[in-house]
């Protein structure tokens, strides 16, 4: 495995939603930076294939199929991590879902529950058990939550998604304040439009969407998932030692527009 920087060498890092898109890119990038990885998502076969590919390049990788909105699955993944590697140094809470955007008064309550379950409760549960593991190790750690530009302002993603991503930024700041004295840093990404299964589904539903979104972006393009992954890797590394409670926009300048 090519050692890109070594900035995550010796770090045990958990990545959720690692079966595709930004999460899978985060696994590839973190492995290149030297991390030992635990990958979590619902699709075990995908995780196994990614883990096999990364191991073939020399990385140490485990995987755990599970649902981030299920406390049992999250706890089991953290137990596996600590039993196998002795500690948890870093986590990228990236698993998320989008819904078909609808007006608030026309949005199904079940749709609201589905988005909040994964995008908010999932991040909450992951942080809860990650913090427990980090406190138990006594050596601090770094957590990065994947929010969105929809965590900063209303977007076409719809009110349920926008509300959940705003909440993730609140959680990030609150946890950063609570655990700073224990050496645990908690940050978030305000991710912009990125090539993934999620964005491809939006483009398939609305063929004009990609062009419209590109035109609204100062860089005029969609991010490659590895560009988002590099920001997460840096925030997880000791190079970002004085950064906590922050929201890093990785959006081609969309937030400044």
Ligand X SMILES: NC(=O)c1ccc[n+]([C@@H]2O[C@H](COP(=O)([O-])OP(=O)(O)OC[C@H]3O[C@@H](n4cnc5c(N)ncnc54)[C@H](O)[C@@H]3O)[C@@H](O)[C@H]2O)c1
Under DSSP, the state recorded for 224 is: P
Instruction: Let me know if 179 is a catalytic residue.
Output: no
CB of 176 to ligand X, least distance (A): 19
Q: Are 127 and 171 in contact (CB under 8 A)?
A: yes
Near ligand X in 23-42, by CB under 6 A: 23, 41-42
Q: Are 96 and 151 in contact (CB under 8 A)?
A: no
**Of 2-10, 56-64, 79-87, 190-198, which part binds ligand X (CB under 6 A)?**
190-198
CB of 59 to ligand X, least distance (A): 18
Residue with tokens 């030692």: 241
Q: Give the whole-angstrom CA distance, residue 211 versus residue 208.
A: 6
Rg of the chain in Å (alpha carbons): 17
Residues 69, 70, 71, 75, CA torsion sign: negative
Q: Which of 198, 209, 243, 246 binds ligand X (CB under 6 A)?
A: 198
CB of 178 to ligand X, least distance (A): 23
Q: Are 33 and 13 in contact (CB under 8 A)?
A: no
Residue with tokens 């870093």: 90
**Of 3-11, 77-85, 176-184, 194-202, which part binds ligand X (CB under 6 A)?**
194-202
Verify binding: residue 196, ligand X, rule CB under 6 A.
yes
Which two structure tokens, joined as six digits, stand for 247? 């929201």
**Of 14-22, 54-62, 99-107, 239-247, which part binds ligand X (CB under 6 A)?**
14-22
Among candidate residues 85, 129, 161, 179, the one labeled active-site is 161
Near ligand X in 89-118, by CB under 6 A: 94-97, 118
Nearest to 60 by CA among 88, 85, 41: 85
Q: Are 214 and 222 in contact (CB under 8 A)?
A: yes
Q: Give the whole-angstrom CA distance, residue 75 versus residue 238.
A: 26
CB of 135 to ligand X, least distance (A): 24
Residue 21 backbone class (left: φ over 0; alpha: ψ -120 to 50; beta: rest): left
Q: Which is nearer to ligand X, 95 or 175 (CB)?
A: 95
Q: Which is nearer to ligand X, 229 or 240 (CB)?
A: 229
The number of residues that bind ligand X (CB under 6 A) is 28
Q: Which is nearer to ligand X, 46 or 132 (CB)?
A: 46
Whats the size of the chain, residue-wise? 257
x/- binding map, residues 52-81, to ligand X, per CB under 6 A? ---------------xxx------------
Q: Which is nearer to ligand X, 148 or 230 (CB)?
A: 148
- Positions marked catalytic: 161
Residues that bind ligand X (CB under 6 A): 16-17, 19-23, 41-43, 67-69, 94-97, 118, 122, 146, 148, 191, 193-194, 196-199
């Amino acid at each position: 495995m090519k050692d890109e920087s070594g900035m995550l060498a010796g770090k045990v890092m958990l990545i959720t939603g690692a079966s595709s898109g930004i999460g899978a890119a985060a696994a590839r990038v973190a492995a290149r930076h030297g991390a030992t990885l635990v990958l979590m998502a619902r699709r075990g076969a995908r995780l196994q294939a990614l883990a096999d590919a990364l191991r073939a390049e020399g990385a140490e990788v485990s995987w755990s199929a599970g649902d981030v909105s299920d406390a049992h699955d999250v706890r089991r993944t953290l137990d596996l991590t600590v039993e196998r590697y002795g500690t948890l140094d870093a986590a990228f809470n990236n698993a998320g879902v989008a819904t078909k955007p609808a007006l608030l008064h026309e949005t199904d309550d079940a749709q609201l529950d589905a988005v909040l379950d994964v995008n908010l409760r999932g991040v909450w549960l992951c942080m809860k058990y990650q913090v427990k593991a980090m406190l138990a190790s006594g050596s601090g750690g770094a957590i990065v939550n994947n929010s969105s530009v929809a965590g900063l302002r209303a977007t076409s993603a719809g009110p349920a998604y926008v509300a959940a991503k705003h909440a993730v930024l609140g959680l990030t700041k609150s946890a950063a304040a609570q655990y700073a004295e224990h050496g645990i840093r908690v940050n978030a990404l305000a991710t912009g439009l990125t090539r993934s299964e999620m964005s491809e589904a939006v483009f398939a539903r609305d063929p004009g969407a990609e062009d419209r979104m590109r035109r609204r972006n100062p860089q005029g393009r969609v991010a490659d998932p590895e560009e988002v992954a590099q920001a997460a890797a840096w925030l997880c590394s000791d190079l970002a030692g004085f950064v906590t409670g922050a929201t890093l926009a990785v959006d081609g300048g969309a937030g400044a527009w």
